[in-house]
Amino acid sequence: MIRKTLYFGNPVYLSLKNAQLIIKLPDIVKNETLPSSFKQQAEVTKPIEDIGVIVLDNKQITITSGALEALLENNCAIITCDSKSMPVGLMLPLYGNTTQNERFRQQLDASLPLTKQLWQQTVRIKIENQAAVLKKYADEEVKCMTIWAADVKSGDLDNMEARAAAYYWRNLFKIEGFTRDREGMPPNNLLNYGYAILRAVVARGLVTSGLLPTLGIHHHNRYNAYCLADDIMEPYRPYIDELVCKILQEGLNCNELTKDLKARLLSIPTLEVNISGKRSPLMVAVGQTTASLYKCFCGELRKISYPQM
């Protein structure tokens, strides 16, 4: 079952009652422009088990400890945003699987050759997906990217990922002066927001599969608590890029991250992807990916199940 993503951009009081998330709107916001589901009443309930991601984007949001506990027990990822409405914090459950200790040990004991092979697979699929986006939305020659994907060696020692990324970003958006940079010009703001949502979905999937999001197969930044999530999300990034391309093709103003744009980006968990020869919502596909990663760590598989565009 695909779980819902809830976004809160106004002052709201979130509590728990009978395994339901109670959403109460204070009097000061009852008359503001809100989604249609909120206009009829000042209190809404949502089943906890139906929620996969919650985004908290207002300094006047109050959430009770009981609601937090229930959400985390049901493997919900909770994202908090800063004053610029950009995701800045992520809360995940500590216990996402009944055999978590065993799975942690198998992950920690993974050999260097195995992690290098897994990274090779990850980079190869990422470049192939980037090539698909580039061919579809920029009408660019992608033969070079196909060659680079095929030439990725164990551990990507020749850094084909960076070579492909330089070509990809140089040609994807036909915007003068655009470079891919977190602090750069639009649509970098859309990409940053989309990647943050994707990162939360992947981190949630890893925890649900009983894996440690901190211990990456390639990323090893000592200050990064989600190295493995950053690794596994790489082949999914082109789906975010594709969504941003669609938004730009519609002629929407991307200089400011409006509520309408956020709503489009919050659809990321429900994006349709192809994985293992079948169509699947992105959040469900991520679960398949993280489950296959665990099987690689325990020796049942040698290949991660990734979506292909």
Question: Domain residues of the chain, as ranges?
Answer: 4-91, 100-297
pLDDT at 35: 54
pLDDT tens profile 280-295: 999 999 999 999 999 9
Average pLDDT over residues 150-167: 96
pLDDT tens profile 36-45: 554 445 789 9
Selection from 280, 290, 300 nearest residue 2 by Cα: 280
Q: Is the pLDDT of residue 86 over 70?
A: yes
pLDDT at 27: 60
Q: Looking at domain 100-297, what is its CATH homologous superfamily? A: CRISPR-associated endonuclease Cas1, C-terminal domain (1.20.120.920)
Q: Is the pLDDT of residue 26 over 60?
A: yes
pLDDT band at 169 (very low <50, low <70, confident <90, very high): very high
Most confident of the ranges 75-89, 137-151, 231-245? 231-245
pLDDT band at 143 (very low <50, low <70, confident <90, very high): very high
pLDDT at 299: 95
pLDDT at 101: 84
Distance of CA 75 to the CA centre of its chain: 15
Domains 4-91 and 100-297 share a fold: no
pLDDT at 164: 97
Most confident of the ranges 115-129, 140-154, 258-272? 115-129
b/e string for 76-114 if b means 16 or more Cβ within 10 A? bbbbebeeebebeebebbeebbeebeebbebbeebeeeb
Average pLDDT over residues 13-39: 72
pLDDT band at 146 (very low <50, low <70, confident <90, very high): very high
pLDDT tens profile 240-258: 999 999 999 998 889 999 9
Listed range (96-105, 159-168, 193-202, 290-299) with the worst mean pLDDT: 96-105
Average pLDDT over residues 13-41: 71
50 vs 141, which has greater pLDDT?
50
Listed range (43-57, 91-105, 243-257) with the worst mean pLDDT: 91-105
* pLDDT above 70 as % of the chain: 94
pLDDT at 34: 53
* pLDDT above 90 as % of the chain: 79
Q: What is the mean pLDDT of the chain?
A: 91
pLDDT at 223: 75
Average pLDDT over residues 209-221: 91
Sheet holding 13-17, edge to edge: 43-47, 20-24, 13-17, 62-63
Q: Looking at domain 4-91, what is its CATH homologous superfamily? A: CRISPR-associated endonuclease Cas1, N-terminal domain (3.100.10.20)
